[in-house]
Structure 1
Amino acid sequence: MASAFGTETLAFPILIGDIGGTNARFWILPDAVAEPQQFPNVQTADFSSIDAAIQTDVLAKTDLRPRSAILAIAGPIEGDEIPLTNCDWVVRPKQLIAESGFEHVIVINDFEAQALAVASMPEQFREPLGPSTEPLIASRVVLGPGTGLGVAGLIHARDTWFPVPGEGGHVDLGPRTERDYQIFPHVEKLDGRISGEQILCGRGLVNLYRAICAADGVEPLYAQPADITAHGLTGEDARAAETISLFVTYLGRVAGDMALTFMSKGGVFLAGGISQRIIAALKKPEFRAAFEDKAPHQALMRHIPTFVVTHPQAALAGLADFARKPSHYGIATEGRHWKR
């Protein structure tokens, strides 16, 4: 098999994992062509470590013994101990090799894996927002409001896709309209600032709802994102409905900023469970209006397509494609590849 790791070959079977702040998902690829063996989602709060989760909910439930692992995690990757941004797990690749028998462990950013997925996402797993056009083979962006706000770019050059991981979810998000200026003083800040992730994620949705209630001088009725979403999408609660409307507006603004940053003529893709649950709201005019409202480049923005990724395991699908066809992708593994 051609390799992305110099002259070495990553040996099958390969364990691939998408490790988020709340859920961890695992597949095992028996070889380069067979269908993956899939496992139920793991709640990160149920295990003290990723090692325990892999042993208990993966390796103990299969006769396949993976020789390699590719893990996508929520957080920057530096050193031999890699903490996740939104949960207490720490990934220790050397320990995984010593205790679980892997020959190779690769660790990449979770939205790098989402970028791999949108490189070849079939039309059946893309729900268009606004004009329905086939995305160009050109730079793309993927954003995902979930436990946090993930962002990654995808550059196409020399017939190769290059994922660009980053922490774009932590860019500043500020008020623009009169209503914004009423609400933003009540948004909970992080070290004195409001980043995209303070609003555009599950806890951010609650943060925004509470700020709206505070601006209106009323007590909030809901404390969970699911309740706000349910009552907001039906329109039965005015403040929950405004929360959803502003959420998609602010998401449109940030998505447009990222589209300009990467000149993503190949499209902007919204990943994650929240995006899938609020498709009806995203299809209303607010998202595209905010996305395109980027003077002096409104004409450019009108021609950039936007989609919701509806694949239930998009990151794992991206990792699987990379594991099977590594030569199609330009992924630098220096400092992210451990071996026995």
Structure 2
Amino acid sequence: MTDLTLLGDIGGTNSRFALVNKGRTDYRHERHYENAGFPSFQDAIESYVAEIGERPTAGVVAIAGPVAGDMVGPTNLQRWLFNPPTLAAALRFVRLDVINDFEAVAHALPHLAESDTRTIGEVPAYSAGGNMAVLGPGTGLGVGALVRGGSRWVAVPSEGGHAEIGAPSREAWSRAHEFIRRRIGRVSGEHVLSGPGLQRIDGALNALAGHPAERSAAEIGTAAVAGTDAIALEAVHLFFDYLARFSGDVALMFAAKGGVFLYGGVVQKLSGLMDQAAFRAAFEAKSPLEKFLSQIPTRLITHPTPGLIGCAAVASHW
């Protein structure tokens, strides 16, 4: 169909582009752009093509938002909404596939090298060919999975980040959870496992300590990493407790015997503060399926652009 395919990983703030040849997953000419510099998605693509001097004839792009309806695009960048057939015609593409960003990361999982991930905790044995799941706290909480469909992998997009999450068992943390619940009602995973979620956790802990404070997720993370603020550090520990328990739920939902992968800047920045033994204990504490979960590995994705790998994997099956 085509020999040169455009790959795009489109967030609300930044976009990453690359090119890949037919049947390959090793992409080239990777470039990163700030979305604010372009009035439309097409303008960003045209700028990239002009910079590299090669003209692709097809594309696979992953967007940070749902892929539904006539108009799609990043949830947090409404001026970049586009109609895929119209855009494909304008770019003279014979094919343009648009997928969710975490669907793309799911597609990437079998193609990640050992050095592209870091193991969290110890797992004695696992099913290397089993289903895999990925979740990532960022502006929101993305969830996706890769499951076996006969002899091929099938990516499963998901809005699982909006599933409800229960209160922690530790009393002080449970009070913080109740504080958040009184403020927003039903507490979903995204409400606490995201940048805004870390702010909610920190705000609750500060309010319960008698000195309400509002600060950004970046400020909380910086204070926690520096060890200069006890409540910021406690907020990060509670964040990881939520993440471990929610990851265990995701593992059960998808029977993810091949592993649960964590992705995103929030987790990567704070990973040095994670108590891996406590994470695994909370991940596995799902009676009566503790043994099942004890055999599922948890890994942190350290590769900077797995979405591009996933888009390349989609194009390789055309």
TM-score, normalising length: structure 2: 0.91
The SS at the match of 1:124 is: helix
- Could you say which residue in structure 1 is the equivalent of 2:278? 286
Matching of residue 184 in structure 1 with residue 177 in structure 2: yes
Encode CA deviations 1:44-69: one digit per residue, 9 max, x unaligned: 3443321222223x122121111101
- Could you say which residue in structure 2 is the equivalent of 1:40? 31
Matching of residue 170 in structure 1 with residue 162 in structure 2: yes
The SS at the match of 1:144 is: strand
- Could you say which residue in structure 2 is the equivalent of 1:151? 143
TM-score, normalising length: structure 1: 0.86
The count of residues paired between Structure 1 and Structure 2 equals 315
- Could you say which residue in structure 1 is the equivalent of 2:119? 128
Q: 1:165 to 1:128 in 2, by over 3 A?
A: same
- Could you say which residue in structure 2 is the equivalent of 1:203? 196
Distance in 2 of aligned mates of 1:249 and 1:322: 34
Encode CA deviations 1:127-170: one digit per residue, 9 max, x unaligned: 00011566510011111111211101111242211111110111
Distance in 2 of aligned mates of 1:94 and 1:175: 45
Q: Is the 8 A contact 1:86 1:148 kept in 2?
A: no
Task: State which of 72, 75, 88 in structure 2 corresponds to 1:85.
Answer: 75
The SS at the match of 1:99 is: helix
Distance in 2 of aligned mates of 1:26 and 1:190: 40
Q: Which amino acid aligns with 1:43?
A: E
Q: 1:267 to 1:190 in 2, by over 3 A?
A: farther
Q: Which amino acid aligns with 1:72?
A: A
Q: Which amino acid aligns with 1:108?
A: I
Displacement of 1:188 in angstroms is 7.5
Encode CA deviations 1:178-232: one digit per residue, 9 max, x unaligned: 2233212443889732211111112221222112111212132x62222211211
Q: Identity, % of aligned pairs?
A: 38
The SS at the match of 1:187 is: helix
RMSD: 2.2
Q: Is the 8 A contact 2:107 2:314 kept in 1?
A: yes
Q: Which amino acid aligns with 1:149?
A: L
- Could you say which residue in structure 2 is the equivalent of 1:115? 106
Q: Is the 8 A contact 1:129 1:282 kept in 2?
A: no
Distance in 1 of aligned mates of 2:25 and 2:227: 46
Distance in 2 of aligned mates of 1:134 and 1:319: 27
Matching of residue 314 in structure 1 with residue 302 in structure 2: no
Task: State which of 255, 264, 271 in structure 1 corresponds to 2:256.
Answer: 264
Q: Is the 8 A contact 2:167 2:178 kept in 1?
A: no
